[in-house]
């Protein structure tokens, strides 16, 4: 069994955007947080900020490339060795480039699938290995998207990965329930992060317009009339990471301000 006094969460893509907000929210909820990112500089900044707000050893930064299976295994082991336990993994890291359907290349397809889908597979495997070693179940939380609910123009590759992540979530939920492990996904709408600003900029550029125009193309049908803050998403992930969601598995929680109605 593990020996941490607080629960422990491992969060990928935690150096900025939604992952940073999830790190902050789970630290607020009382978790130790492994702030894992390809960019060690931003991960270190986030961990430093959490330690200064919530106390020493609340968080540690970890460098990881989620597309590298062995690297993910090692990164999760590093977090468990440091904190002594693991209860939650949030497979949040993702890439979201525009990929025009007629012209995207093999390399673009491979890169996005390796990070978004591969990173989710390897995060699941690493978490299960640790949960089993620690002798308890746990929670696996995967980042899908509203673009994994409906097709978004220009996002053929990204959208494919986000639909795939919902499928992986349902399958893993069935495979892992006997081990006391729940697996759920979250599906944000249009969230004000560097990723979304990049997509909006490119959409605008291709139409000879600016980023603001590009953003409007994605955000004009939001029922609540505003874009999402990263903290809106983090609040729902807090629910998925906590005991209130214990009787929930294989689900995809849609947090999109009413863009997609099922």
Q: Does 37 sit near ligand NAI (CB under 6 A)?
A: yes
Minimal CB distance residue for ligand BUO? 145
Q: What is the x/- site pattern for ligand BUO, positions 26-65, by CB under 6 A?
A: ----------------------------------------
140 lines the binding site for ligand BUO (CB under 6 A): no
Strand residue runs (E) in the chain:
8-12, 32-37, 59-63, 88-91, 138-143, 181-188, 252-255
- Phi then psi dihedrals of residue 119, to 5 deg: -60, -35
Residue 59 · residue 27 · CB < 8 Å: yes
12 lies in the binding site for ligand NAI (CB under 6 A): yes
Q: Does 214 bind ligand BUO (CB under 6 A)?
A: no
Residue 95 contacts ligand BUO per CB under 6 A = no
Cα 71 to chain centroid, rounded: 17
Report how far residue 90's alpha carbon sits from residue 92's, in angstroms, rounded to the nearest whole number: 6
Q: Could you say which of 19, 96, 119, 123 contacts ligand BUO (CB under 6 A)?
A: 96
- Phi-psi bin for 60: left (phi > 0), alpha (psi -120 to 50), beta? beta
Contact yes or no for 164/114 (Cβ under 8 A): no
Q: How far is the CB of 247 from ligand NAI (least distance, A)?
A: 25
Question: Which of ligand BUO, ligand NAI, none is residue 93 near (CB under 5 to 8 Å by kind)?
Answer: ligand NAI
Q: How far apart are CB 107 and ligand NAI at their closest, in Å?
A: 15
Q: Which of residues 226-245 bind ligand NAI (CB under 6 A)?
A: none
Smallest CA-to-CA distance from 46 within 26, 65, 68 is with 26
Other residues' Cβ atoms within 10 Å of the Cβ of residue 179 = 12
Q: Contact residues for ligand BUO (CB under 6 A)?
A: 96, 145-147, 152, 190, 195-196, 199, 218
Residues that bind ligand NAI (CB under 6 A): 12-13, 15-19, 37-39, 42, 64-67, 92-96, 115, 143, 145, 188, 190-191, 193-196
């Amino acid at each position: 069994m593990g020996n941490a006094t607080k629960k422990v969460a491992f969060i990928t893509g935690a150096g900025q955007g939604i992952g940073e907000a999830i790190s902050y929210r789970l630290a607020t909820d009382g978790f130790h947080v492994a702030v894992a990112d390809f960019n060690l500089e931003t991960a270190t900044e986030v961990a430093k900020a959490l330690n200064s707000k919530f106390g020493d050893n609340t968080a540690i930064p970890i460098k990881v490339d989620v597309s590298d299976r062995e690297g993910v295994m090692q990164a999760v082991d590093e977090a468990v060795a440091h904190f002594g336990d693991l209860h939650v993994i949030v497979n949040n890291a993702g890439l979201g480039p525009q990929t025009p359907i007629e012209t995207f290349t093999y390399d673009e397809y491979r890169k996005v699938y390796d990070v978004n889908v591969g990173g989710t597979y390897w995060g699941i495997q690493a978490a299960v290995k640790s949960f089993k070693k620690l002798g308890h179940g746990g929670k696996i939380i995967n980042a899908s998207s509203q673009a994994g609910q409906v097709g978004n123009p220009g996002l053929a590759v990204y959208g494919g990965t986000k639909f795939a992540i919902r499928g992986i979530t349902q399958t893993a939920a069935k495979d892992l329930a006997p081990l006391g492990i729940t697996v759920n996904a979250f599906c944000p709408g249009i969230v004000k992060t560097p990723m979304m600003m990049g997509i909006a900029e490119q959409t605008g550029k291709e139409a000879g317009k600016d980023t603001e125009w590009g953003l409007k193309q994605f955000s004009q049908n939001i029922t609540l009339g505003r874009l999402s803050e990263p903290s809106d998403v983090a609040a729902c992930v807090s629910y998925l990471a906590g005991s209130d969601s214990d009787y929930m598995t294989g689900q995809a929680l849609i947090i999109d301000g009413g863009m997609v109605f099922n």
